[in-house]
Amino acid sequence: MKKKLWKIIDWHPGQPAWGAAAVAGLGCALPLLLGLFSGHPGFLWATVGAFQAAKANPLHRLGMLRMLLLIGLGAGSAALGYWSAPHPFISLGLFAFYGLLLAWLQRYGTEAGKLGIGLAICLCLGQGQHGIGEFNNPQAIAVLFALGGLWVTLLAFGLRGMHGLRMWPYMPRLLSLVKVLRRRARRTPIRRWRLHALTYMLAAATGGLIVTLGELPRGYWLTLAVFTTLQMDLQRSLVRALQAGIGILGAAAVLIYMGHSLADPPMMVMIMLPLVMLSRAFQAHHYGLFVLQTTLSFVLLAETLAKDWGLPQLRLTNAAIGVGVALGVSLLMVLLRRLAARIALRRSGQPIKADRPRDESVTP
């Protein structure tokens, strides 16, 4: 029991990345302070773009390339989410596509899965911010997102210079990289992955459609709860799925209570900046913990300058619906898989044995 529990909460922080933490803190501080003093909602997207770029470590070999990739794809995802918010069918298709994209990237390892969850978070924030304030231009959102990320990139180049590193490191051969990714993808059976991908598509599309049809403000609490809950390997067992849902809902409730108690943007900024630096310095390597850590950080940044903390029940309701959607779709897929297995056994004439829980997770 102790070994299993240790596998769940294993952190593997390694050495604290204080250089990357300083880049993240300075990168988020400038747009946050500008947004605090000016009151313009556009600086929210610059802050989100800065934190998205800061997830990559600029001192690593592929750090700068990954940083630019996170900026470009994240800006496009946020703009697409904002643009699709008023259109139910577009939101349905877009969230289904991002669910499929996340499941596809997870086949290629942990780092690819981290890229996919980052893009899904940007999509959720883009859709959930629609209708809040008067800033309603998707192109401007993408530009501000990219500007915040490029500000962090400039700081990252300075950090590389302080360490005496090349401004742009040598890149590996593309063919070698593709071979490594294909080798990693072959470890997961395609039939198991298809069920995994279908679960992601149905849950993500349902969450995006509920937010659009219900015109829910702060809808990213719902869609982020869907994506975060799906990362907790819900298909291993029903008990594990229920525990994961309760844990995520409890974390959301604590976060909402803290925001409602403070409800002061200057105080939120003072608390948020040290948390961003500590989160980046001790960034989790374990995939599930990385998802929780990154999601909470993005939500805190998105809510730092919020002025409607007097409605905490709205956020809690959205989070509860999101967890319920993820659990419901996962349970449905598990039941359908077991039913299909029983039908196949009956047709083959073999005796039907009781189902035993097996580790069929494809989450990296």
| Token pair 């990219």: residue | 146
The answer to whether residue 364 sits within a structural domain is: no
Q: Show Cβ contacts of residue 128 under 8 Å, excluding neighbours closer than 6 positions.
A: 81, 211, 218, 219, 220, 221, 222, 223, 224, 302
Alpha carbons 266 and 33: distance in angstroms, whole number: 9
What are phi and psi for residue 101, nearest 5 degrees? -60, -40
Number of helices and strands in the chain (H, E):
14, 0
Per-residue pLDDT reduced to its tens digit, 21-47: 999 999 999 999 998 888 788 888 999
Per-residue pLDDT reduced to its tens digit, 190-220: 777 888 889 999 999 999 999 999 888 888 9
Instruction: List the Cα angle 66/360/104 in 5-degree steps.
Output: 30
| Contact predicate 41/133, CB 8 Å | yes
The answer to whether residue 262 sits within a structural domain is: yes
Q: Name the domain count of the chain.
A: 1
The answer to whether residue 360 sits within a structural domain is: no
The answer to whether residue 355 sits within a structural domain is: no
Alpha carbons 175 and 182: distance in angstroms, whole number: 11
The answer to whether residue 129 sits within a structural domain is: yes
The answer to whether residue 249 sits within a structural domain is: yes
Per-residue pLDDT reduced to its tens digit, 241-289: 778 788 888 888 888 888 777 777 888 888 888 998 998 988 888 888 8
Q: How many CB atoms lie within 10 A of CB 297?
A: 22
Per-residue pLDDT reduced to its tens digit, 92-134: 999 999 999 999 988 888 888 899 999 999 999 999 888 776 6
The answer to whether residue 10 sits within a structural domain is: no
How is residue 238 written in tokens?
A: 């029903």
The per-residue pLDDT for 1 is 40
Containing structural domain, residue 23:
15-348
Per-residue pLDDT reduced to its tens digit, 156-183: 999 988 888 887 777 777 677 777 777 7
| Contact predicate 119/98, CB 8 Å | yes
